[in-house]
Chains A and B, each alone.
Chain A
Amino acid sequence: MILTTRSSLGAVALAVGGALRRHGIPAVLTGGACASLHTRGAYQSRDMDFILVGATTQARLDTAMASVGFVRKGDRYVHPRVVFYVEFPRGPLAIGSDYRIAPVERRGRHGRALILSATDSCRDRLAAFYHWNDRSSLDVAVAIALRSPVRLATVRRWSIAEGFAAGFAEFLREVRRTRVGRRRRSKPSPRRTAR
Protein backbone atom coordinates (compact mmCIF):
# COMPACT_ATOMS: atom_id res chain seq x y z
CA MET A 1 0.00 0.00 0.00
CA ILE A 2 1.63 3.24 -1.14
CA LEU A 3 0.45 6.35 0.63
CA THR A 4 0.67 9.67 -1.15
CA THR A 5 -0.03 13.33 -0.50
CA ARG A 6 -3.55 12.70 -1.84
CA SER A 7 -4.32 9.79 0.48
CA SER A 8 -7.42 10.46 2.52
CA LEU A 9 -7.65 10.10 6.27
CA GLY A 10 -9.74 6.97 5.79
CA ALA A 11 -7.15 5.41 3.45
CA VAL A 12 -4.29 6.18 5.82
CA ALA A 13 -6.22 4.88 8.83
CA LEU A 14 -6.97 1.60 7.08
CA ALA A 15 -3.38 1.26 5.85
CA VAL A 16 -1.98 1.85 9.35
CA GLY A 17 -4.60 -0.44 10.89
CA GLY A 18 -3.70 -3.12 8.36
CA ALA A 19 0.02 -2.78 9.07
CA LEU A 20 -0.54 -3.05 12.81
CA ARG A 21 -2.70 -6.11 12.31
CA ARG A 22 -0.11 -7.80 10.05
CA HIS A 23 2.46 -7.30 12.80
CA GLY A 24 0.18 -8.69 15.47
CA ILE A 25 -0.40 -5.37 17.23
CA PRO A 26 -4.00 -4.92 18.36
CA ALA A 27 -4.96 -1.24 18.27
CA VAL A 28 -8.14 0.82 17.99
CA LEU A 29 -8.50 4.15 16.22
CA THR A 30 -10.11 6.72 18.52
CA GLY A 31 -10.41 10.48 18.95
CA GLY A 32 -10.72 13.09 16.23
CA ALA A 33 -9.72 10.82 13.33
CA CYS A 34 -12.44 8.38 14.26
CA ALA A 35 -14.96 11.24 14.53
CA SER A 36 -13.85 12.42 11.11
CA LEU A 37 -14.66 9.01 9.61
CA HIS A 38 -18.08 8.91 11.26
CA THR A 39 -18.94 12.44 10.10
CA ARG A 40 -17.87 11.41 6.56
CA GLY A 41 -15.33 14.21 6.44
CA ALA A 42 -17.56 16.99 7.78
CA TYR A 43 -15.08 17.26 10.63
CA GLN A 44 -11.37 17.21 9.76
CA SER A 45 -8.52 15.95 11.88
CA ARG A 46 -4.85 15.45 11.15
CA ASP A 47 -3.85 13.32 14.08
CA MET A 48 -4.71 9.67 14.36
CA ASP A 49 -4.83 8.29 17.87
CA PHE A 50 -4.53 4.53 18.04
CA ILE A 51 -4.93 3.00 21.50
CA LEU A 52 -2.97 -0.20 21.91
CA VAL A 53 -5.15 -2.91 23.43
CA GLY A 54 -2.40 -5.50 23.90
CA ALA A 55 1.26 -5.63 24.79
CA THR A 56 3.93 -4.84 22.20
CA THR A 57 7.45 -3.45 22.02
CA GLN A 58 8.66 -0.13 20.67
CA ALA A 59 10.79 -1.95 18.08
CA ARG A 60 7.82 -3.94 16.84
CA LEU A 61 5.70 -0.81 16.60
CA ASP A 62 8.47 0.99 14.69
CA THR A 63 8.72 -1.93 12.25
CA ALA A 64 4.95 -2.06 11.70
CA MET A 65 4.73 1.68 11.10
CA ALA A 66 7.80 1.65 8.83
CA SER A 67 6.08 -0.94 6.63
CA VAL A 68 3.65 1.82 5.55
CA GLY A 69 6.30 4.56 5.47
CA PHE A 70 5.85 6.15 8.90
CA VAL A 71 8.90 7.01 11.00
CA ARG A 72 8.98 7.86 14.68
CA LYS A 73 9.65 11.48 15.58
CA GLY A 74 9.39 12.03 19.33
CA ASP A 75 6.05 10.72 20.50
CA ARG A 76 4.48 10.55 17.04
CA TYR A 77 4.87 8.83 13.71
CA VAL A 78 5.14 10.97 10.61
CA HIS A 79 5.16 10.16 6.91
CA PRO A 80 7.16 12.16 4.34
CA ARG A 81 4.20 12.41 1.93
CA VAL A 82 1.17 12.19 4.20
CA VAL A 83 -0.29 15.14 6.11
CA PHE A 84 -1.73 12.92 8.82
CA TYR A 85 0.38 11.76 11.76
CA VAL A 86 -0.12 8.86 14.11
CA GLU A 87 0.12 8.76 17.90
CA PHE A 88 -0.37 5.98 20.40
CA PRO A 89 -1.82 7.59 23.55
CA ARG A 90 -1.77 5.38 26.61
CA GLY A 91 -4.90 3.40 27.34
CA PRO A 92 -6.99 1.85 28.52
CA LEU A 93 -9.56 2.15 25.79
CA ALA A 94 -12.35 3.87 27.68
CA ILE A 95 -14.98 6.57 27.33
CA GLY A 96 -15.40 8.32 30.63
CA SER A 97 -15.72 5.56 33.21
CA ASP A 98 -16.91 2.99 30.67
CA TYR A 99 -14.01 0.72 29.68
CA ARG A 100 -16.13 -2.07 28.15
CA ILE A 101 -15.74 -0.75 24.64
CA ALA A 102 -16.46 -3.00 21.66
CA PRO A 103 -14.69 -1.57 18.61
CA VAL A 104 -15.96 -2.23 15.09
CA GLU A 105 -13.92 -3.22 12.07
CA ARG A 106 -13.76 -0.99 9.03
CA ARG A 107 -12.57 -2.57 5.78
CA GLY A 108 -11.59 -1.06 2.49
CA ARG A 109 -9.21 -1.58 -0.39
CA HIS A 110 -6.44 0.08 1.63
CA GLY A 111 -6.69 -2.37 4.52
CA ARG A 112 -8.74 -2.80 7.64
CA ALA A 113 -8.72 -1.20 11.04
CA LEU A 114 -10.50 -1.44 14.35
CA ILE A 115 -12.24 1.84 15.15
CA LEU A 116 -14.74 3.12 17.72
CA SER A 117 -18.34 2.59 16.66
CA ALA A 118 -20.34 5.68 15.72
CA THR A 119 -22.10 5.53 19.09
CA ASP A 120 -18.80 5.34 20.99
CA SER A 121 -17.19 8.05 18.87
CA CYS A 122 -20.19 10.26 19.63
CA ARG A 123 -19.82 9.50 23.35
CA ASP A 124 -16.08 10.23 23.12
CA ARG A 125 -16.76 13.72 21.74
CA LEU A 126 -19.54 14.30 24.24
CA ALA A 127 -17.11 13.46 27.09
CA ALA A 128 -15.02 16.47 26.03
CA PHE A 129 -18.14 18.64 25.93
CA TYR A 130 -19.36 17.43 29.31
CA HIS A 131 -16.07 17.65 31.19
CA TRP A 132 -14.37 20.56 29.43
CA ASN A 133 -17.40 22.47 28.18
CA ASP A 134 -15.85 22.23 24.71
CA ARG A 135 -18.57 23.42 22.31
CA SER A 136 -16.66 22.30 19.21
CA SER A 137 -16.81 18.73 20.53
CA LEU A 138 -20.59 19.10 20.92
CA ASP A 139 -20.81 20.14 17.25
CA VAL A 140 -18.82 17.07 16.21
CA ALA A 141 -20.97 14.77 18.36
CA VAL A 142 -24.07 16.24 16.66
CA ALA A 143 -22.48 15.76 13.22
CA ILE A 144 -21.77 12.10 14.03
CA ALA A 145 -25.36 11.57 15.21
CA LEU A 146 -26.69 13.08 11.97
CA ARG A 147 -24.38 11.24 9.58
CA SER A 148 -23.90 7.81 11.19
CA PRO A 149 -26.09 5.35 13.06
CA VAL A 150 -25.84 6.36 16.73
CA ARG A 151 -27.78 4.55 19.43
CA LEU A 152 -29.16 7.53 21.32
CA ALA A 153 -30.56 5.35 24.12
CA THR A 154 -27.03 4.08 24.85
CA VAL A 155 -25.65 7.63 24.81
CA ARG A 156 -28.43 8.76 27.13
CA ARG A 157 -27.81 5.94 29.65
CA TRP A 158 -24.08 6.63 29.67
CA SER A 159 -24.57 10.40 29.99
CA ILE A 160 -26.81 9.94 33.02
CA ALA A 161 -24.32 7.49 34.57
CA GLU A 162 -21.55 10.07 34.08
CA GLY A 163 -23.72 12.70 35.80
CA PHE A 164 -24.50 14.77 32.71
CA ALA A 165 -28.23 14.36 32.08
CA ALA A 166 -28.53 18.11 31.37
CA GLY A 167 -25.61 17.92 28.92
CA PHE A 168 -27.33 15.08 27.07
CA ALA A 169 -30.57 17.10 26.87
CA GLU A 170 -28.59 19.93 25.29
CA PHE A 171 -26.98 17.51 22.82
CA LEU A 172 -30.40 16.15 21.87
CA ARG A 173 -31.77 19.69 21.36
CA GLU A 174 -28.83 20.45 19.06
CA VAL A 175 -29.39 17.24 17.08
CA ARG A 176 -33.09 18.10 16.57
CA ARG A 177 -32.37 21.74 15.76
CA THR A 178 -29.69 20.84 13.20
CA ARG A 179 -31.86 18.11 11.69
CA VAL A 180 -34.78 20.54 11.21
CA GLY A 181 -32.40 23.14 9.74
CA ARG A 182 -31.03 20.62 7.25
CA ARG A 183 -34.55 19.54 6.21
CA ARG A 184 -35.58 23.16 5.64
CA ARG A 185 -32.49 23.83 3.55
CA SER A 186 -33.00 20.71 1.43
CA LYS A 187 -36.77 21.38 0.86
CA PRO A 188 -37.39 23.18 -2.46
CA SER A 189 -39.07 26.56 -2.06
CA PRO A 190 -42.78 26.84 -3.23
CA ARG A 191 -41.87 29.44 -5.87
CA ARG A 192 -39.32 27.11 -7.45
CA THR A 193 -41.79 24.19 -7.57
CA ALA A 194 -44.47 26.39 -9.17
CA ARG A 195 -42.27 27.22 -12.13
Chain B
Amino acid sequence: MEVKVSSSPFGGRTRTRALLALRLLGESYPRELARLLEAPLSGVQKALASLERDGLVAARSLGRTRVFRIEPRYFAFDALQRFLERLAEPEADLRARVAALRRRPRRTGKPL
Protein backbone atom coordinates (compact mmCIF):
# COMPACT_ATOMS: atom_id res chain seq x y z
CA MET B 1 0.00 0.00 0.00
CA GLU B 2 1.31 3.44 -0.98
CA VAL B 3 2.16 5.79 1.86
CA LYS B 4 0.37 9.13 1.58
CA VAL B 5 2.84 11.95 1.20
CA SER B 6 0.34 14.81 1.07
CA SER B 7 -3.03 15.54 2.60
CA SER B 8 -6.30 14.87 0.78
CA PRO B 9 -8.70 17.48 2.12
CA PHE B 10 -11.26 16.73 -0.58
CA GLY B 11 -11.95 13.18 0.51
CA GLY B 12 -9.49 11.20 -1.57
CA ARG B 13 -6.10 11.52 -3.21
CA THR B 14 -7.42 11.40 -6.77
CA ARG B 15 -10.26 13.82 -6.01
CA THR B 16 -7.84 16.30 -4.45
CA ARG B 17 -5.23 15.97 -7.18
CA ALA B 18 -7.84 16.23 -9.94
CA LEU B 19 -9.04 19.49 -8.41
CA LEU B 20 -5.47 20.77 -8.13
CA ALA B 21 -4.82 19.89 -11.75
CA LEU B 22 -8.02 21.63 -12.86
CA ARG B 23 -7.00 24.69 -10.88
CA LEU B 24 -3.65 24.77 -12.67
CA LEU B 25 -4.97 23.90 -16.13
CA GLY B 26 -8.24 25.79 -16.16
CA GLU B 27 -10.00 22.92 -17.87
CA SER B 28 -9.19 19.38 -18.85
CA TYR B 29 -10.63 15.99 -19.78
CA PRO B 30 -10.41 12.65 -17.96
CA ARG B 31 -7.73 11.06 -20.17
CA GLU B 32 -5.44 14.08 -19.90
CA LEU B 33 -5.91 14.20 -16.14
CA ALA B 34 -5.22 10.46 -15.84
CA ARG B 35 -1.96 10.90 -17.77
CA LEU B 36 -0.98 13.93 -15.74
CA LEU B 37 -1.76 12.37 -12.37
CA GLU B 38 -0.45 8.93 -13.37
CA ALA B 39 -3.71 7.46 -12.15
CA PRO B 40 -6.01 4.90 -13.75
CA LEU B 41 -8.57 6.47 -16.12
CA SER B 42 -11.47 4.76 -14.33
CA GLY B 43 -10.32 6.21 -10.99
CA VAL B 44 -10.12 9.71 -12.44
CA GLN B 45 -13.54 9.33 -14.05
CA LYS B 46 -15.01 8.22 -10.72
CA ALA B 47 -13.34 11.10 -8.88
CA LEU B 48 -14.66 13.62 -11.43
CA ALA B 49 -18.16 12.14 -11.24
CA SER B 50 -18.22 12.47 -7.46
CA LEU B 51 -16.81 16.01 -7.60
CA GLU B 52 -19.52 16.85 -10.12
CA ARG B 53 -22.20 15.47 -7.78
CA ASP B 54 -20.75 17.67 -5.04
CA GLY B 55 -21.04 20.68 -7.32
CA LEU B 56 -17.30 21.39 -7.23
CA VAL B 57 -16.65 20.73 -10.91
CA ALA B 58 -18.82 20.97 -14.01
CA ALA B 59 -18.44 19.50 -17.46
CA ARG B 60 -19.52 20.39 -20.96
CA SER B 61 -19.36 18.30 -24.09
CA LEU B 62 -16.82 19.20 -26.76
CA GLY B 63 -17.43 16.76 -29.58
CA ARG B 64 -17.29 13.38 -27.86
CA THR B 65 -15.11 14.62 -25.01
CA ARG B 66 -16.36 15.79 -21.62
CA VAL B 67 -14.31 18.82 -20.64
CA PHE B 68 -14.20 19.58 -16.92
CA ARG B 69 -13.45 22.73 -14.99
CA ILE B 70 -14.00 23.96 -11.48
CA GLU B 71 -17.66 25.00 -11.33
CA PRO B 72 -17.56 28.80 -11.58
CA ARG B 73 -21.11 28.97 -10.18
CA TYR B 74 -20.06 27.20 -6.96
CA PHE B 75 -21.01 29.54 -4.11
CA ALA B 76 -17.48 29.45 -2.64
CA PHE B 77 -15.71 29.50 -6.00
CA ASP B 78 -13.27 32.32 -5.17
CA ALA B 79 -12.34 30.81 -1.80
CA LEU B 80 -11.95 27.36 -3.37
CA GLN B 81 -9.68 28.75 -6.08
CA ARG B 82 -7.49 30.41 -3.47
CA PHE B 83 -7.38 27.27 -1.31
CA LEU B 84 -6.42 25.09 -4.28
CA GLU B 85 -3.76 27.58 -5.33
CA ARG B 86 -2.25 27.35 -1.84
CA LEU B 87 -2.47 23.55 -1.83
CA ALA B 88 -0.72 23.41 -5.20
CA GLU B 89 2.27 25.43 -4.00
CA PRO B 90 4.20 22.48 -2.48
CA GLU B 91 3.18 20.16 -5.34
CA ALA B 92 6.31 20.89 -7.41
CA ASP B 93 6.04 17.65 -9.37
CA LEU B 94 2.43 18.29 -10.42
CA ARG B 95 3.20 21.88 -11.34
CA ALA B 96 6.17 20.76 -13.43
CA ARG B 97 3.99 18.22 -15.27
CA VAL B 98 1.35 20.86 -15.95
CA ALA B 99 4.02 23.29 -17.15
CA ALA B 100 5.33 20.66 -19.57
CA LEU B 101 1.91 20.25 -21.23
CA ARG B 102 1.60 22.05 -24.55
CA ARG B 103 -1.66 24.01 -24.56
CA ARG B 104 -0.99 26.71 -27.11
CA PRO B 105 -2.41 26.16 -30.59
CA ARG B 106 -0.53 24.33 -33.31
CA ARG B 107 -1.36 25.02 -36.93
CA THR B 108 -3.07 22.09 -38.63
CA GLY B 109 -0.60 20.02 -40.64
CA LYS B 110 2.50 21.60 -39.14
CA PRO B 111 5.12 18.87 -38.59
CA LEU B 112 5.99 18.00 -34.98
Chain A contact residues, CB within 8 Å of chain B: 75, 89-92, 94-99, 127-128, 131-132
How many residue pairs at the A-B interface have CB separations less than 8 Å?
26
A90 touches which of B53, B60, B72, B76 (Cβ 8 Å): B53
A128 touches which of B55, B73, B75, B78 (Cβ 8 Å): B73
Rounded to whole Å, the gap between the CB of A170 and the closest CB of chain B is 18
Interface of B is mostly: loop
Task: Tell me the bound Cα distance from A127 to B76 in angstroms.
Answer: 14
Interface centre among B54, B75, B77, B78 (most CB of A within 10 A): B75
Rounded to whole Å, the gap between the CB of A116 and the closest CB of chain B is 14
Asked whether B55 lies within 8 Å of A97 as measured between CB atoms, the reply is no
Asked whether A131 lies within 8 Å of B72 as measured between CB atoms, the reply is yes
Interface of A is mostly: loop
Asked whether A89 lies within 8 Å of B55 as measured between CB atoms, the reply is yes
Asked whether B53 lies within 8 Å of A97 as measured between CB atoms, the reply is no
Chain A minimum-CB-distance residue to B75? A94
Residues of chain B with a CB closer than 8 A to A89's CB: 53, 55
Q: Which of B50-86 contact A (CB under 8 A)?
A: 53-55, 58, 60, 72-73, 75-78
| A-B pairs with lowest CB-CB distance, top 5 | A94-B75, A131-B72, A127-B73, A99-B75, A90-B55
Task: Tell me the bound Cα distance from A132 to B60 in angstroms.
Answer: 9
Task: Tell me the bound Cα distance from A131 to B75 in angstroms.
Answer: 13
Task: Tell me the bound Cα distance from A127 to B55 in angstroms.
Answer: 14
Asked whether B77 lies within 8 Å of A97 as measured between CB atoms, the reply is yes
A-B contact pairs, 26 of them (CB 8 A): A75-B53, A89-B53, A89-B55, A90-B53, A90-B54, A90-B55, A91-B55, A92-B75, A94-B75, A95-B73, A96-B73, A96-B75, A96-B77, A97-B75, A97-B76, A97-B77, A97-B78, A98-B75, A99-B75, A127-B73, A128-B73, A131-B72, A131-B73, A132-B58, A132-B60, A132-B72
